[in-house]
Amino acid sequence: MPTTPLPRRAGLRIAAVTALTAALTPLSGLPAGAAPMAPGDNGTLKIHTAPWDGVQRTPYGDAIDEPRVCRFYLDAAGFETVDAVTWRIETQPPVTGGATLRGTLNLPNDTGIGHTEDQNLPDGQYQLSWSFVGMTGAERQKTFTVDCRASMSTPGPQGGPPAGGGGIARDEAFTTVAGAGAVGLAAVGGVIWFRLRRRTHGA
C-alpha cells in the first residue's frame, strides 16, 4: 500500500490554507473581516488660530494643526461627500460643570471642506471630538490647549531697571542721576570759586 511522505502532506496543507485565505480576502486588498472605509473617514477637523489682540488668522484650508491657541476656529478638510460633521469640545480631563462647546459644521456642495465661526474658551486643556453619519468606527478625537495669558498679549514695561537693580525705570533713573550730578557739579564749582576769591584778595 503506497504511502505519502510527511513533507509532501505538510506542503499540501500549507497550499490549502493559502488558497482559503486568498478566497476570504476582499478584492480591495483589506484583511478578511475588516470593514471598508466610508466616505469621509479620512476627514479631519484642524484647530486654527482666529484673530485676537493683533495675532493674525491662520488661513482657511491651511494644513497646520495648532495644539496651543487663544481664540480659534475649527477647519474641516478631507470629508469628501459628507454633508455635515457634528463636533464637541470638553475640558480634559473631564470636569463637572467645565466649559463646553458643541455644534454642527455644514460642508456644502460635497466639497468635504468648511469651517466654524470663531470660538472662545477659558484657559485650559480640552478634547475635541467629532463624528458624522455613516462613519466607520468610533468618533475621532484630539486634544489642544487654550492659553490667553496676559504675557502673550500685553507689552511689558518700557525700558527696565538699570544694571544693579533698584527697581527704577530707565528714564527715572537717568533723571535722578543727572540731578545728582548737577548738584555735585554745582558744589564743586562753588568750592573752586571760593578758593580763587580768597587767593585774589590775598587771603
- pLDDT at position 152: 53
Q: What confidence tens digit (pLDDT) does each residue in 15-68 have?
A: 554 554 444 444 444 455 556 789 999 999 999 999 999 999 999 999 999 999
Q: Residue 150: pLDDT band by 50, 70, 90 thresholds? A: low
The residue ranking higher by pLDDT, 149 or 24, is: 149
Grid cell at residue 118: 470663531
Collect all residues with Cβ–Cβ distance below 8 Å to 18 and sequence separation of at least 6.
none
Grid cell at residue 54: 493683533
Beta strand residue intervals within 93-172, DSSP E: 100-106, 114-115, 124-131, 140-146
156 phi and psi angles, rounded to 5 deg: -75, 175
Grid cell at residue 183: 548738584
Q: What confidence tens digit (pLDDT) does each residue in 71-99 have?
A: 999 999 999 999 999 999 999 999 899 99
Say if residue 103 is exposed, middle or buried (CB neighbours under 10 Å; 0-12, 13-18, 19+): middle
Q: What confidence tens digit (pLDDT) does each residue in 170-192 have?
A: 343 334 444 444 444 444 444 44
Indicate the DSSP class of residue 42.
T
Q: What confidence tens digit (pLDDT) does each residue in 115-135 have?
A: 999 999 999 999 999 999 999
